[in-house]
Chains A and B, each alone.
Chain A
Amino acid sequence: MTTEVGSETEVKKEPEKAEEQSPAPEQDAQAPAAEPKAEAELPCGETAPPGGDGDAQPKAASPEKERKQKEPSAGKGISRFLPPWLKRQKSQSQAEPREAEKENQEKVDEQQQPGQESAPKSPVSEAKEAPGEELKSDDKDDKHSIGSADTQPAKEEKGDESLERSADVKEKEESKCEEKKEEGETPKPDSGTEKPLLKAAKKMKTVMCHVTLLDGSQFPCEVEKRAKGHFLFFKVCEHLNLLEKDYFGLSYKDAADQKCWLDPAKEIKRQIRNSPWQFAFNVKFYPPDPSQLTEDITRYLLCLQLRQDIASGRLPCSFVTHSLLGSYTLQAELGDYDPSEHRLEYLSDFQFAPTQTKEMEEKVVELHKNHRGMTPAQADAQFLENAKKLSMYGVDLHHAKDSEGVDIMLGVCANGLLVYKDRLRINRFAWPKILKISYKRSNFYIKIRPGETEQFESSVGFKLPNHRSAKRLWKVCVEHHTFFRLVTPEQPPKARFLTLGSKFRYSGRTQAQTRQASSLIDRPAPYFERTSSKRVSRSLDGAPVVSVSDQALRGDSSVAGDKENGREPALELSSDSKSKLRVQGENIYVRHSNLMLEDLDKTQEDVLKHQASISELKRSFMESTPEPRPDQWDKRLTASPATSLRLQAQGSAEDKQRSGTGEQAEVEIEETVVIKEVKKAPKTKDVAPEVVVGAAVAEEAKKEKEGEAEEKEDKRPGGGEASSSSDSHSESEEEAEYHPQVSSVSVDQIKEEPEEEEPKQEAPPPGADPIASAAPPRAREERGAASEGAADEEAHNGHTETRQGLVSVEEDEEEEEEEEEEEEPRLNGDVSRTETERLPQVICCSEPPVVKTEMVTISDTFAAQKTEISTKEVPIVHTETKTITYEAAQLDGAGDSEPGVLMTAQTITSESLCTTTTTHITKTLKGGLSETRIEKRIVITGDSDIDHDQALAQAIKEAKEQHPDMSVTRVVVHKETELAEEGED
């Protein structure tokens, strides 16, 4: 897919390619690596690793490299700050060219810089020449010198534009990846050069996506035809320089003109079908307390969404509130009221309400005067403080009829399901009250927990306009419940790999997780332009008057149309069985799982065996478990279906379900269960193959019930690919159920969680562990991304040791990108792309709490034989284990499905006082691309006196310092504590 620009770009590209042919491959290689870095950084809270230091990477000396290295070194201090900005810039530039073409707005800019055309050809030189300067200028921009911002960016953009045009048009994911990387590390000009290079590598079909951003601007983005939703989402977030992205999503309109949420885990094409590749970036989960968001930019975006919501009438407000919110908008966008400059006309660009009266505008102005001195960020914060109190804030409304055919609206929100008739709230079902959510054809049902006086649970049914709307509502409920209510996604604990057919589950991070993740954000507040300021700056330049700001604020209406769905998210293909649930992005996903197994390269059979063994294990475990875990434990853990199953299995012996807040619900899975874990198996190489066993187990249990469907899926050839494969069941599903399982963690607790849960707490008391998923007392094993061939089973496996902390930091950098076009055969006949492989950044945080029962060690997921299942007879090991895995997000493009060829592998071990560091370096070659993966295992041994958190931080830091060019893709923290106490049973 090309865009209008296509022809031009082509031409340009050609020459460029020729020039830089040699470097191209290298660049490609870099790209993938870069991404992980960015992602990986998050966990550590560092934005941009200093590029200059280590060129550990064996890269050919390509211009790019040079640049990279040089750049960083040139402005190391600055470099830290640059990445975000640059990224933004970059992405902007991408977007802009498009706009320009369409709107001609940008022409001015272009014209200003005649050199553009030439630029592309000698980008490298440019970069080299003035990298430092650019950096500086950028920096300035960041620091708000408006003047410089206006001009500088423009220039850069120009250069980029030209470059990008050429590149953009046919860029593939990879190229983008590169761009990202580049953006992060080098000034734009570079990126420009790269792109062309990339082209050479591209062979995939691409499609131009148009994403309407919250400010009303369009972000064109080229993606591979088979790209998954998250790829596009990442690109958009990157463009926006947004880290706290879990609250957002992309929506599109389906054939029926209904707004649907783009499922990040599924291929875009399969979701939108024949609809245009037109999307809208929207807030999906409205944070109940925006003040808890970490970054101003996130709040700003939320403000933009709310302004749209308000202007479109989706978020009703009183006159006074409209005025107040409008006044904050003015303060944020225009700054202090200036009588000379701000006459009433200045309001005409803003829409404060669906119907805006003169009276209201006067009121707005009057209030605006009161905000003098308030910074834009403060004004946004005030805006949000007021907006969040609105009764319909964050309520996603769906038309329905009650059992008597009366028209009502069902509102899904953070707290539960609301029922409105006309404007009145006539009922409310808080999540804790809901035992089950299901839909069947066009009917939507919720099963209600019996009240104090009632004996039986009751069901309430609603009639939705059609099957699709029922399903959409169901999905939204599942997602909201998971996001707001659970600590960790409830998906089949399979963690990322498992998906249920119609049992769609929310795959992103929960609010608790995203909060935790954002607490780790440690970057200088990114600079971003508010819409109007953008407008102002442009006008100053004499640029086209079409101000983005106008569009943004006023354009709400137009945009609003698109965005309406923001409120009616419908994830279409929920049933995508194999998609990895984990979608989003780069940030950190924190997951709690019981067991984490790593799968190295396994064959399909192995996988199956493995699963079988797991189910076996599960069963035996359940049976054998002498003592149910402490109630608290259960309560907390329940988030995972596995847990629920287990609980059920155990019978109510403990009654934990009820006792724990009574919130726990069971999860039944009726339809297809797809196991994703399979996915990685074969190819493991690049991605950390880790499988959460707990989940798997749970699945197994379910499978037993349901049988066949799963088997099919399990059979997928490429284990790795499986995840990406799309099951078509979903669509056809007529019904589905969801049992909201609330871990007993009450909402309050959940809120607290983020703060409390630090990556490495000492093993909490059994009950305290929030994550206690069904994790049976098994030692959990994790492995970093295994270097392919070398399936190491190192210390990890045997956890029995007294180690207190096991930290493994893996860094990997891929030098070359694998070929994009690799296809992997699937049962379905689907061809999956390599992207799949790359696990979306998943951060697994599993803290199998105190394990006081029998210890089961599963060393290798796939190799059944390796698995040690100890049940009753096994010696009881009193240990507490806790594992937290941070995994950097990986973009699709990066992943590769092909097992590479192991080129070299070396292991280095060093010891110090209380830490043992094992470094395992593997280089692999696959598809002509080489990848270097360094896996470090740092074992910190000692008693509780040691500050493990600190040790971990130090370890990560050191690792990063040692390999500045590498990106940290995964951090696994495994804690084991041997309990001194006497054994229990």
Chain B
Amino acid sequence: MTALTAPFGRFTHSVVRAIPASFGEGALRTCSAQVDLAAALREHEHYVAVLKHRLGLQVVELPADESLPDCVFVEDAAVVCGDTALVTRPGAPSRRKETEAMKQALQELNLNIVEMDDDSATLDGGDVLFTGREFFVGLSTRTNQRGAEILADAFKDYTVSPVPVLDGLHLKSFCSMAGPDLIAIGSSEPAQKAFKVMQQMSDHRYDKLTVSDDIAANCVYMNLPDKGHVLLYCTSEEYPESAKVFEKLKDYTLIPVSNSEKVKVDGALTCCSVFINKKLEN
């Protein structure tokens, strides 16, 4: 019911995971870049602090696992919608074990756990965009058709439409929800094309918030009881043009969050947490 009745973006909990020391060297990346581990740690600490203190979410912090350099990107390990959590089978073999800790955490949160036990299926949570009305799933290097099907199976209430990801790591590498029915989308051609596909597939008309930088289109939207619309978005230092666009949003609590290190390994803002809406025990 929560899924069906709660306002879009209403979350109570967040699952995050610490950055392992192996992050700097071992994290997968699409382009070679040197990561400043210390800076990354600071960044992440700030990120978690925002969730925990600024927004008052119940943050479940999973310990880092050195054998899993990418483990900080918890989003890829699970897709949570309503009371159902799909524990994924990440596309990168090296990341498959990340789901173990995630699964356990989600179980402890009393979610209905669905696992992908099909060995041919791969799905990264970063390819899953939930709009509040339906799912779009990027078919990317990390997510395949079968994974998308299992996603659809897990969330039967919703339409699941695949979207080819022509460029970028994940679907959400260039888009995300910036509000109810508002999709933030990068200005690149592949991003715009993807948006068109989404629009074509949907019975609903989404508003589009185009930002100049694809990666900056990845923001974190929440609708919190006492704060209303909340948006974590890129800082103006990193993406000045894009930041300006976000800053025009009215009636939002805008929280710029720095992500300069994690982005080097294709980590975006949404990547570092799994949001959950747990109704208070009733």
Interface residues of A (CB under 8 A from B): 316-321, 324, 367, 370, 386, 389-391, 415-416, 422-428, 430
Contact = CB atoms under 8 A, between A and B. Distances in A.
Contact of B84 (A320, A416, A425): A320
Interface in B141-156: 145, 148-149, 152-156
Contacts of B160: 391, 423-425
B135 to A, nearest CB: 9
B161 interface: yes
Contacts of A320: 1-3, 82-84, 112
A428 B153 contact: no
Given A423-B149, A423-B152, A425-B201, A367 B1 contact: yes
A318 B157 CA distance: 6
6 contacts: A317-B156, A318-B3, A319-B112, A367-B1, A391-B157, A422-B152
Interface in B175-194: none
Interface in B236-278: none
A325 B104 CA distance: 29
Interface of B: 1-5, 82-84, 112, 133-134, 137, 145, 148-149, 152-162, 200-203, 282
Contacts of A424: 137, 145, 148-149, 152, 160-162
A415 to B, nearest CB: 5
B156 A318 contact: yes
* Interface of chain B: mostly helix, strand, loop or mixed: mixed
B205 to A, nearest CB: 11
Contacts of B4: 321, 324, 386, 389
A430 B199 CA distance: 11
Contacts of A319: 84, 112
Contacts of B112: 319-320
Contacts of B133: 389
Given A318-B156, A321-B4, A386-B5, 12 more contacts: A317-B156, A318-B84, A319-B112, A320-B1, A321-B3, A321-B156, A324-B4, A389-B157, A422-B149, A423-B160, A424-B160, A428-B161
A428 B157 contact: no
Contacts of B156: 316-318, 321, 390-391, 423
Nearest to B4: A386
B149 A317 contact: no
Given A319-B84, A321-B4, A370 B282 contact: yes
Contacts of B1: 320-321, 324, 367, 386
Nearest to B154: A318
Query: Most A CB atoms within 10 A — which of B5, B137, B157, B158?
Result: B157
Contacts of A370: 282
Nearest to B150: A423
B118 to A, nearest CB: 12
Contacts, number: 74
A187 B89 CA distance: 67
A738 B58 CA distance: 56
Contact of A391 (B82, B134, B149): B134
Contacts of B5: 386
A367 B149 CA distance: 29
A430 B201 CA distance: 9
Nearest to B161: A425
Nearest to A427: B201
B196 to A, nearest CB: 9
A415 B112 CA distance: 32
Given A321-B4, A324-B1, A391 B159 contact: yes
Nearest to B146: A422
A929 B5 CA distance: 60
A321 B162 contact: no
A209 to B, nearest CB: 36
Given A316-B156, A320-B82, A390-B157, A426 B162 contact: yes
A423 B121 CA distance: 14
Contacts of B161: 424-426, 428
A615 B221 CA distance: 61
B224 to A, nearest CB: 22
A399 to B, nearest CB: 17
A321 B112 CA distance: 12
B123 to A, nearest CB: 12
A390 B4 CA distance: 9
Nearest to A390: B157
Contacts of B203: 415-416, 428, 430
Contacts of A316: 156-157
Nearest to B84: A318
B153 A423 contact: yes
Contacts of A321: 1, 3-4, 156-157
B274 to A, nearest CB: 18
Nearest to A393: B157
A318 B82 CA distance: 10
Contacts of B137: 424
B242 to A, nearest CB: 26
Contacts of A422: 149, 152
Contacts of B134: 391
A319 B160 CA distance: 17
B48 to A, nearest CB: 29
A916 B3 CA distance: 61
Contacts of B159: 391, 425
Nearest to B153: A423
B83 to A, nearest CB: 5
Nearest to A391: B159
A749 B82 CA distance: 34
A430 B152 CA distance: 22
- Counting chain A CB atoms within 10 Å of each CB, the highest count among B152, B162, B282 belongs to B152
B206 to A, nearest CB: 14
Given A320-B1, A324-B4, A370-B282, A428 B202 contact: yes
B58 to A, nearest CB: 20
A370 B282 CA distance: 9
Contacts of A386: 1, 4-5
A367 B4 CA distance: 14
Contacts of B149: 422-424
A929 to B, nearest CB: 53
**Which 6 A/B pairs are nearest by Cβ-Cβ distance?**
A423-B152, A391-B159, A316-B156, A425-B161, A324-B1, A422-B149
Contacts of A318: 3, 82, 84, 154-157
A427 B159 CA distance: 11
Nearest to A323: B1
A330 to B, nearest CB: 15
A317 B2 CA distance: 14
A317 B157 contact: yes
Nearest to A315: B156
Nearest to B149: A422
Contacts of B154: 318
B271 to A, nearest CB: 24
Contacts of A428: 161, 200-203
A254 B161 CA distance: 34
Nearest to B1: A324
A697 to B, nearest CB: 36
A427 B1 CA distance: 28
A288 to B, nearest CB: 9
A423 B156 CA distance: 9
A416 B112 CA distance: 33
A958 B133 CA distance: 51
A430 B204 CA distance: 11
Contacts of A317: 156-157
A415 B160 CA distance: 17
Contacts of B155: 318
Nearest to B199: A428
A320 B5 CA distance: 12
Nearest to B2: A320
A427 B196 CA distance: 12
A316 B153 CA distance: 9
Contacts of B202: 428
A321 B154 CA distance: 12
Nearest to A324: B1
Which of B149, B158, B159, B162 has most chain A Cβ within 10 Å? Answer: B159
